[in-house]
Every structure is written in structure tokens, then in C-alpha cells.
């Protein structure tokens, strides 16, 4: 029997000796590689933190002590050690184990995560609450160097340094975000890692530190001062310490002995501490070590070769976006691409090779990316910020205040709109229409096929001067729906199928569903029109006129929540135009957080598939 099979909770881990822990670490790695090769998931990040997670559970008492995993994609070993190993066959599937920490799933998950750079804020909140309540436990935030590029981290550290509150921040530094980590913070961390004098004397510091009697935080003051002196002499500036957070490190994040030693010492220190741990992303799996970016998030793969089992999706909307950007940049020298640490996911890799000076990877900093774009636009450039729908949520005020209020020509290319699938609640792109479609000056478009995405991007860059957003989904460009009205022009909408009395109006790629629904209705003798509004906001006044004059029944279909989406905006427009005599129904997701699952599963569950929509429409038509 393996050590791993005997671990049902962190208590079981504590019975093991150091040598046995090393064996356990390699068993966990094997389990992760084999299991993720079948289900898909975040592989490389998880392989990098096996020893760190073991050491944390060995030294602390979770769930009493609280761990907060930044982003949370690296919490698989934590899940294994806290009794959830059997759930891994259902990882990220409908009804299965979440790929992120989730309090609803386990009391060991102290705080839900999914979006980056939140862990220090949450941790200081928990720590201050603990102190206010007079309680006594440890709060530990684990944050990657990539996530340290997010602005919230600095707001949090500003807060941490204020009260000298006991808190441990473990900085898991593997020099990688999804792609190579970028920016001044990343450079600064390498300086800490590699400052030659510091490295040379590091072992000296550790023997000094290791020998120090730290009991209950009562640290000998003189020794402490001397140690500080050595640190400062060796590394010119320890930023964290200047913010009031004690810096310890860097230490080897794969050396269990050292990790356990150091964590046991820092856990009794009564102050905010940042422990700098150096790890290797993909550790222990050759292919992932060689190409950590490709193994950040994977679908099922062959363990021997590292090759994906499923054929790559033919062409995604992200691919089309990336290719179109290259074409547009060729002709328009003012075009600039912006990404917040997602050059690969958003399809901008090719662009970055051709135009390295015209792409800015700003780190995981979506708020900054928007205001930075506003600055570029103010000076006559045309910035295109490519971003996932879910991550744009945090940039709301920047869009309103910095871009739209000044009517600046910033283009938002909103990828992963609608259902994203396996990442679940934290990542669904089903709120963007609601939070964007009421902002003054912002034009919001949704393409239904790849040709329209190309054309809309050209329209947004070359034929518009407003702030403008285009939202498109994850995955391949499977839609067979062709545009009848070829070119996108101001307020042009596309009548995909001309009928009468009944209008089925679908947003973007939901046109596919609308056409299938219409075919079913036709078999029953109805004659619906299928209309693509293209302009989600503002809604075309001509479309409103068309609906006023020609239709009695109006059905809208969108992959957004119902409140504030296209359907609700259309209803408002009709009422404002004193158009009352219509039967209307909005098909959309409920105002809820939508769980993980495939797009098909979720559309079916929420009655947004053509069969269900057809049944509901038919009932409405029969009853009225």
C-alpha cells in the first residue's frame, strides 16, 4: 500500500517521517500526472507546489489554520491531502470536484478563489477578524510571482504593513505566469533570487537563522538587528520589509526538510512575514518542465509523449482574433495590442512575434490595462485590449471613468464570453452584456461567425471612433450561420431568415440555436424571422422600428444572465418607444452563478438549447 492511499486527512500526514514525506511527494506527482492526463486540468502549477503543500499541512493545523490559495489553480495537492483524492476522476466536470478551492466543497478551503491576486487581501481580512475576536490561529496566503503583478496585492500589502498583524504570505516564485512572467516586479524578484553577494552568503544566513531560538515570537532583539543588518548589506532593498512585512528567503521549495524547518520557525513569529519560496513549474514531469506554458492548463494527454489525446480544435475565435489583428496592424500603424498576462490564451502570440514593440503584456493587471489603453488612445493610438470576459469584471470603473467618460477610442476584444465550461462559477463569461450594455458612449457588438468577428474588428479599429467592445466565445468557430448582410456598418442588423409575425433575435453565436429553433417551429407551420442584432448596445433604432411594425411575438436568446442583458435592454427600448402591444420572452441564464460543466450540458440544464427554447416558444404561441 502506498503512503498516499493512507492519507485521509492532514492528521495522517503528520505521522510520517521526513524520508516518507519525500516518497509521498513523488506518489502525489505520479497521481497528478496520471489523473490530469485523463481529465485535463492545471498540471504544471500543481506539480510545482507538491512539497510546499505537504510542508504546509505538516506544520500547520488546517482547517483551524487557514490557507488561501491565490487563483487556486494550484490547490490539487491540498485537495488530495484533505480527503478529496477520490474526486479527481470527476475533476472540473459537471457535478464533480472543482478545479479551485471552494468552501462549499470542503472546510479545508478557507476562501474561494479563481481570479488572481486576491489572497493577501482575503488573508489580512481573516487575520484582522481573528484578532478582533480574540482567536488564535494562523492565516497563510500562497501567491505566485505571476499573481504578484496584480494591483490588489499592493493595496493589500499597504494594509498588512499598517498593524503588524500576524500573517504568513508564501510567495511561490517559479518565474512564470501562464507565459513567462513580465514586468519590473518580476525583475525585482529575480534580483532577490540571484543577487550574487546574497546568494554567496545565503547558507550563512540560514545557519544563523536555523540556530536562532524563536519561541512564541520572543526574538532576541540584538540578534534580530544584526540579522537585519546582514540582509540589508547583501540585498540593497527589500521592498517587503520597507512595507513592514518581514522577508525570509529565498528557499528551495522542493527541499522538504528546509521547508518544514523554516515554516515551523516562522509560524510562531507574531508579525506579517513573506516567505520567498523558489519552485519549478512542472517539476517532475519532463514535458511540463520543458514547456510549462503549454502544461499550465491541459486537456487529456498521453503521459509518455505529452501529446494531447483530442485533436486540437480546428480554429478558435481567439485564433481568428489573432490573425485579424496581424492583418490590421499591417495596414494601421497606430494599432497596439494589450494583454493582461494572456498572450497565448487570447491568440496574440503570433502578433507578439511580428510586432513585439506594439504589444504590451502588462501582467495580471486588467484594471491597469484599461487605463493604460486610455492613455494610449488619448495620444492617438488605437489600443485593442484582448481580455477574457470574466477578468474584465474587475475593470468596470476604469471602463466607465477612464475610457467612456472621455469617449476614447479603446477597443475591447472580449474573449471567453458566455459559458467557459470546466473552470466553473469563477470564470463564466455571462455577465459582460449586463455590466457593459448600459455604459454611455460604449458600442457593444457580438459576432455570430468568424467572418463577422473579422469585420467587426476592422470596423472597431478603422471605421469607429467610440469606445467599442466585441464579445465572442471560447472554442471553435463551428457556426454554419452565414451573414446575409455582409458588411457591418453603423447599426446594421442581419436578418438571417425572413419570416413574419414572430421574431427570434439571438446574440452572437446563439444564432445557431435560434436557427435550429426556427426550423422546428417551421415544421409546425409557423414562419419566424431569425434576426442577429449585431449591436447589443446601443440597439439599432431601425431594428426597434422593424419590430414595431412587423412583429407581434419577440423572443430573444443570449448566453448572458437575464438581467441587464440584450433581452432586458430591448424590452426597455420598446417601452421607452411606447411599444406595448408585443408578446416578449427573454431566453437567458438566470441571475445566478453557473456551475462547471460543458457548454452543451449547461445550455440544456438552463433551457437554452434549441429543443427547450422551441417547446417554450410553442407553448407561448399556442396560449396567446
* Conformational region of residue 497, where left means phi above 0, alpha means psi within -120 to 50, and beta covers everything else: beta
**Nearer Cβ to ligand TPP, position 115 or 497?**
115
Q: Cβ distance 534 to 492 under 8 Å?
A: yes
254 forms part of the interface with ligand TPP (CB under 6 A): no
122 forms part of the interface with ligand TPP (CB under 6 A): no
Strands of 215-351 (E only): list them: 246-252, 272-278, 335-339
Name the strands in the sheet holding 494-497, side by side, starting at the edge strand that comes first in the sequence. 494-497, 528-532, 501-506, 551-561, 583-589
The stretch among 173-181, 330-338, 405-413, 582-590 that binds ligand TPP (CB under 6 A) is: 173-181
Q: Which of 76, 355, 391, 606 binds ligand TPP (CB under 6 A)?
A: 391
**Nearer Cβ to ligand TPP, position 74 or 560?**
74
Contact letters for ligand TPP, residues 74-113 (x by CB under 6 A): x---------------------------------------
- Active site residue: 84, 394, 450, 471, which one? 394
Q: What are the C-alpha distances in Å from 361 to residues 180, 207, 377, 507? A: 10, 40, 17, 30
Taking the C-alpha atoms of residue 236 and residue 350, their distance in angstroms, rounded to an integer, is 39
Which among 260, 212, 228 is positioned nearest to 18, based on CA atoms? 260
Residue 281 among the catalytic residues: yes
CA–CA–CA angle 436, 437, 438 (5° rounding):
95
The stretch among 123-131, 142-150, 189-197, 282-290 that binds ligand TPP (CB under 6 A) is: 142-150
Q: Cβ distance 48 to 172 under 8 Å?
A: yes
Q: Which of 66, 115, 280, 471 binds ligand TPP (CB under 6 A)?
A: 115
Q: Cβ distance 123 to 139 under 8 Å?
A: yes
User: CB 211: neighbour CB atoms within 10 A?
Assistant: 8
Q: Smallest gap, in angstroms, from Cβ of residue 292 to ligand TPP?
A: 8
Residue 600 among the catalytic residues: no
Give 600's contacts (C-beta < 8 A, 6+ positions apart). Answer: 609
266 forms part of the interface with ligand TPP (CB under 6 A): no
177 forms part of the interface with ligand TPP (CB under 6 A): yes
Taking the C-alpha atoms of residue 507 and residue 608, their distance in angstroms, rounded to an integer, is 12
**Nearer Cβ to ligand TPP, position 147 or 352?**
147
Q: Which three cell numbers stand for residue 292?
A: 510549462
116 forms part of the interface with ligand TPP (CB under 6 A): yes
**Nearer Cβ to ligand TPP, position 106 or 174?**
174
- Active site residue: 84, 92, 280, 281, which one? 281
> Mapped to the 3 state alphabet, what secondary structure does 320-360 carry?
HHHHHHHHHHHHCCCEEEEECCCCCCCCCHHHHHHCHHHEE
**Nearer Cβ to ligand TPP, position 5 or 191?**
191
Give how many residues touch ligand TPP by CB under 6 A: 23
Residues 42-71 close enough to bind ligand TPP by CB under 6 A: 45, 48, 71
The stretch among 125-133, 171-179, 182-190, 598-606 that binds ligand TPP (CB under 6 A) is: 171-179
Q: Smallest gap, in angstroms, from Cβ of residue 171 to ligand TPP?
A: 9
Residue 14 among the catalytic residues: no
Q: Which of 25, 47, 168, 176 binds ligand TPP (CB under 6 A)?
A: 176
User: CB 571: neighbour CB atoms within 10 A?
Assistant: 16
Q: Please give the residue ranges that form the binding site for ligand TPP (CB under 6 A).
A: 45, 48, 71, 73-74, 115-116, 144-147, 172, 174, 176-178, 281, 340-342, 364, 366, 391
Residues with catalytic function: 281, 366, 394
Amino acid at each position: 500500500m502506498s503512503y498516499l492511499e493512507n492519507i485521509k486527512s492532514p492528521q495522517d500526514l503528520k505521522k510520517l517521517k521526513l524520508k516518507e514525506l519525500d516518497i509521498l511527494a513523488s506518489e502525489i506527482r505520479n497521481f497528478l500526472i496520471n489523473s490530469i492526463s485523463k481529465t485535463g486540468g492545471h498540471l504544471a502549477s500543481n506539480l510545482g507546489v507538491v512539497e510546499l503543500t505537504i510542508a504546509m499541512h505538516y506544520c500547520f493545523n488546517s482547517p483551524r489554520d487557514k490557507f488561501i490559495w491565490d487563483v487556486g489553480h494550484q490547490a490539487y495537492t491540498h485537495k488530495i491531502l484533505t480527503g478529496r483524492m477520490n474526486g479527481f476522476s470527476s475533476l472540473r466536470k459537471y457535478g464533480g470536484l472543482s478545479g479551485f478551492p471552494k468552501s462549499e466543497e470542503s472546510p479545508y478551503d478557507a476562501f474561494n478563489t479563481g481570479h488572481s491576486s486576491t489572497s493577501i487581501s482575503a488573508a489580512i481580512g481573516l487575520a484582522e477578524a481573528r484578532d478582533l475576536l480574540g482567536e488564535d490561529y494562523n492565516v497563510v496566503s500562497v501567491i505566485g510571482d505571476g499573481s504578484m503583478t496584480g494591483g490588489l496585492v499592493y493595496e493589500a500589502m499597504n494594509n498588512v504593513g499598517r498593524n503588524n498583524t500576524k500573517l504568513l504570505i508564501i510567495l511561490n516564485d517559479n518565474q512564470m505566469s501562464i507565459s513567462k512572467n513580465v514586468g519590473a516586479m518580476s525583475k525585482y524578484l529575480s534580483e532577490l533570487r540571484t543577487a550574487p553577494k546574497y546568494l554567496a552568503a545565503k547558507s550563512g544566513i540560514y545557519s544563523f537563522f536555523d540556530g536562532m531560538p524563536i519561541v512564541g515570537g520572543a526574538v532576541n532583539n540584538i540578534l534580530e538587528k544584526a540579522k537585519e543588518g546582514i540582509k540589508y548589506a547583501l540585498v540593497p532593498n527589500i521592498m517587503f520589509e520597507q512595507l513592514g512585512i518581514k522577508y525570509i528567503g529565498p528557499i528551495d521549495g522542493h527541499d522538504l526538510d528546509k521547508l518544514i524547518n523554516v515554516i515551523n520557525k516562522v509560524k510562531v513569529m507574531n508579525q506579517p512575514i513573506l516567505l520567498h519560496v523558489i519552485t519549478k513549474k512542472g517539476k517532475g514531469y519532463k514535458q511540463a518542465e520543458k514547456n510549462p506554458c503549454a502544461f499550465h492548463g491541459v486537456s487529456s494527454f498521453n503521459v509518455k509523449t505529452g501529446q494531447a489525446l483530442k485533436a486540437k480544435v480546428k480554429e478558435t475565435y481567439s485564433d481568428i482574433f489573432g490573425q485579424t489583428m496581424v492583418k490590421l496592424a499591417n495596414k494601421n500603424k497606430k494599432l497596439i495590442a494589450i494583454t493582461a498576462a494572456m498572450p497565448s490564451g487570447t491568440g496574440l502570440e503570433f502578433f507578439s512575434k511580428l510586432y513585439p514593440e506594439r504589444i504590451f503584456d502588462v501582467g495580471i493587471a486588467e484594471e491597469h490595462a484599461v487605463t493604460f489603453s486610455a492613455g494610449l488612445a488619448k495620444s492617438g493610438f488605437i489600443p485593442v485590449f484582448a481580455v477574457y470576459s470574466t477578468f474584465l469584471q474587475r475593470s468596470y470603473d476604469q471602463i466607465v471613468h477612464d475610457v467612456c467618460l472621455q469617449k476614447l477610442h479603446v477597443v475591447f476584444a472580449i474573449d471567453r464570453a458566455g459559458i467557459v465550461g470546466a473552470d466553473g462559477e469563477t470564470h463564466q463569461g455571462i455577465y459582460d452584456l449586463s455590466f457593459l450594455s448600459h455604459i454611455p458612449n460604449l458600442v457593444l457588438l457580438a459576432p455570430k461567425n468568424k467572418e463577422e468577428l473579422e469585420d467587426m474588428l476592422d470596423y472597431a479599429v478603422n471605421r469607429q471612433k467610440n469606445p467599442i467592445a466585441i464579445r465572442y466565445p471560447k472554442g471553435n468557430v463551428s457556426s454554419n450561420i452565414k451573414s446575409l448582410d455582409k458588411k457591418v456598418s453603423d447599426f446594421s442588423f442581419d436578418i438571417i431568415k425572413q419570416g413574419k409575425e414572430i421574431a427570434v433575435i439571438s446574440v452572437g453565436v446563439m444564432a445557431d440555436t435560434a436557427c435550429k429553433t426556427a426550423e422546428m417551429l417551421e415544421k409546425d407551420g409557423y414562419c419566424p424571422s431569425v434576426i442577429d442584432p449585431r449591436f447589443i448596445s446601443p440597439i439599432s433604432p431601425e431594428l426597434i422600428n422593424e419590430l414595431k411594425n412587423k412583429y407581434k411575438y419577440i423572443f430573444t436568446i443570449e448566453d448572458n444572465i437575464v438581467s441587464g442583458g440584450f433581452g432586458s435592454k430591448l424590452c426597455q427600448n420598446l417601452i421607452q418607444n411606447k411599444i406595448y402591444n408585443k408578446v416578449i420572452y427573454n431566453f437567458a441564464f438566470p441571475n445566478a452563478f453557473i456551475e462547471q460543466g460543458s457548454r452543451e450540458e449547461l445550455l440544456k440544464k438552463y433551457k437554452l438549447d434549441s429543443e427547450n427554447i422551441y417547446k417554450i416558444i410553442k407553448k407561448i404561441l399556442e396560449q396567446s
